[in-house]
Structure 1
Amino acid sequence: MKTIIKKCTQTDLQELQAISTATFAETFQEQNSPENLNAYLEKAYNLKQLEGELANRSSQFYFVYFNEEVSGYLKINTENAQTEAMGIESLEVERIYIRKEFQKLGLGELLLNKAFEIAMQQQKKKVWLGVWEANENAIAFYQKKGFIQTGSHSFFMGNDEQVDLIMTKTLE
Structure 2
Amino acid sequence: MRIRQVKPNDINDFIETYIKAYEELENYKYRTRKEIKNYFKWLYNRDKEGFIVAEENGKSVGFAGGDTNWINFEGEKVLEIHEIFVLPEFRKRGIGSQLLKHLLSYGIKKDRKLAELWVGKTNYKAINFYKKFGFKEAGEWGKWLRMTKSLTS
2:120 to 129, 132, 136: 132
Matched residue, 1:75? 65
Gaps (5+ residues) in structure 1?
155-162
1:6–1:62 contact (8 Å) kept in structure 2: yes
Q: Name the counterpart of 1:20.
A: 18
Q: Normalising to structure 1: TM-score of the pair?
A: 0.77
Aligned residue type for 1:44: E
What are the ranges of 5 or more consecutive residues in structure 2 without an aligned counterpart? none
State the Cα distance separating 1:19 from its structure 2 match: 1.5
2: CA distance, partners of 1:93 / 1:149: 14
Percent identity over the alignment? 25
Q: What is the aligned residue count?
A: 151
1:143 aligns with 2:131: yes
Greater than 4 Å deviation, 4+ residue runs? none
Whole-Å separation in 2 of the counterparts to 1:112 and 1:67: 20
Cα distance in 1 between the residues matched to 2:136 and 2:42:
31
Aligned to 1:169, which of 129, 146, 149? 149
State the match for 2:45 in structure 1.
55
Task: Tell me, in whole angstroms, the C-alpha distance in 2 between the residues paired with 1:100 and 1:79.
Answer: 30
In the superposition, the TM-score normalised over structure 2's length comes to 0.85
Q: More displaced, 56-65 or 135-144?
A: 56-65
Distance 1:150 1:140 in 2: 14
Secondary structure of the 2:127 match is helix
The alpha carbon displacement at 1:117 in A equals: 0.8
